[in-house]
Structure 1
């Protein structure tokens, strides 16, 4: 069983699956969504990992991103106007734990969600180690 199959097996039941995109495996999952009159807001979790067989290394990265569209998505006064607004949070070297506490506080009034970010990261780590690879967590960016 390869690393991709192992990871997807470990995260079964969570939204999204890792899919190959070139030499990187990517997961994108909308974990919360709000719709209001003429506007839409989504909170999306992104994760990627890459397997480097020559180095025996699996690198992993993740982030949260909120996107808004429709009326109230841009401008100084969010109650008026049209546009698109994106907000991103990259994770720290320790993962999203600290960021998630802050995000839960910030998004808690807007979204109802529960998503186990740590389970995704640990699934990649476990699959890598079971296959004899080292695991490295990186901030969002190039793997």
Structure 2
């Protein structure tokens, strides 16, 4: 599956993906068009892109296999609730009209995007904390010598 498809499924723009992984929008575009090969991308950037896309299996991005959709009980409950909103309650009466469903889906996409950003920022925060702890340990070690 190509990078563009995965990025679109994640509902993020080239610019946003570039910001998340510290690449320019042009570089993302080059990888999507094939003028730059993903296989030649630095490993660190490749991992950052996989994370930014929600933890995509590397073999999916490299086109070696199709993505596996994992569902758990919470996902099934959410899917059932979505179906009730789209197709009606137990009596078959629609809960939301078409316009309301589209607007709700826009909210859902924005929320998903923010959740991905939050996850990425949490990872960066954890990395910074680890670096700080490493620095403090080094400072203490150098003084005790």
Q: Same fold (TM over 0.5)?
A: no
Instruction: Answer 1 or 2: higher relative contact order, Cα 8 Å, separation at least 6.
Output: 1
Q: Where is the helix percentage greater, Structure 1 or Structure 2? A: 2
TM range (shorter): under 0.3
TM-score, normalising length: structure 1: 0.22
Structure possessing the higher radius of gyration over alpha carbons: 2
Q: Where is the strand percentage greater, Structure 1 or Structure 2? A: 1
